[in-house]
Amino acid sequence: AAAGLGRQAVAVLAQVRDVVVEHEEELGKLDAIAGDGDHGIGMRRGVDAAFTAAETAIGASVGRILTAAGEAWSERAGGTSGALWGSAIIAAGQALGNKTGYSGEDAAAAVTAFVSAITELGKAEPGDKTMVDALLPFRDAFLTEFDAGAPVDRALAVAAAAAESAAAETARLRPLKGRARPLAEKSLGHPDPGAVSFGLITARISQHIDS
Ligand code: ADP
Ligand code: MG
Ligand code: MG
């Protein structure tokens, strides 16, 4: 049974890989507006490496699988978002540890750990125009639904919708953190690439989780 949750984690990473591949070019173009244009390729490299590392670790605990995946993501992606995604996946894995299945509480702990890893490492504030502007609404919506008694799939669907709309709303912000800052004016009217990719990824995951 220990392999069950690990296998589910690998299946989720396969979904993340697919959605990143589908949007790789679009994410690169978005990052090229005010950044260096590598968000699509960086996410692609990171998630490919993470998926391969996770698959190789099948049979280990979910914590070990996600730690291997996060380390591979950070190493291979390069860039700011790669370091942030890698540490977030490792933190979510540590929250799940060697659990063999997850309760709503476990999912809430994993979501909280994922988001805290990114805010602690990146130190972006709300409104800085980073992925944090999608992460915080995601976490808050998830926890609100969970506290109201919603099952994980429902909480995730509501949270993913919150992340996608928050990502779209970053278009009105000027970037205050990250590489896009020097070209802040160019970024106005366009959403933050890292927020957009997070919204796309969570929406895809929520379509594939049904408990
Ligand atoms: P790089 O900026 O190193 O080229 P990417 O293009 O892959 O890396 O990722 C850019 C994204 O990283 C931004 O759109 C933003 O969402 C996110 N980002 C940048 N700096 C931070 C930070 N300090 N905290 C959170 N997210 C950040
Ligand atoms: Mg970039
Ligand atoms: Mg870069």
Q: What is the interface pTM, i.e. ipTM, of the complex?
A: 0.99
DSSP β-bridge partners for residue 58: 60
**Cβ–Cβ under 8 Å, residues 145 and 154:** yes
Q: Average pLDDT of 104-130?
A: 97
In this structure, what token pair is assigned to residue 79? 């860039």
At 102 the three-state DSSP class reads coil
- Give pLDDT tens digits for 72-99: 999 999 899 999 999 999 999 999 999 9
Does pLDDT of 196 surpass 60?
Answer: yes
Q: Average pLDDT of 2-11?
A: 86
**Protein residue with least CA distance to atom 5, ligand 1:** 39
The H-or-E segment that residue 173 falls in is none
- Split at pLDDT 50, 70, 90, the class of 1 is very low
**Protein residue with least CA distance to atom 20, ligand 1:** 178
Residue linked to tokens 């069950």: 4
Q: How far is CA 4 from the centre of its chain?
A: 22
pLDDT of 48 reads 98
Q: Is 31 in the pocket of ligand 1 (CB under 6 A)?
A: yes
Q: Is 36 in the pocket of ligand 1 (CB under 6 A)?
A: yes
**Protein residue with least CA distance to atom 22, ligand 1:** 122
Does pLDDT of 17 surpass 70?
Answer: yes
**Sign of the dihedral defined by the CA atoms of residues 23, 29, 35, 37, in that order:** positive
Ligand 1: which of 20, 123, 130 to mutate, judged by most atoms within 8 Å of the beta carbon? Answer: 130
Q: Is 175 in the pocket of ligand 1 (CB under 6 A)?
A: no
Give one DSSP letter per residue of 118-138, joined into a string. Answer: HHHHH-PPTTSSSTHHHHHHH
Q: How far apart are CA 77 and CA 63, in angstroms?
A: 21
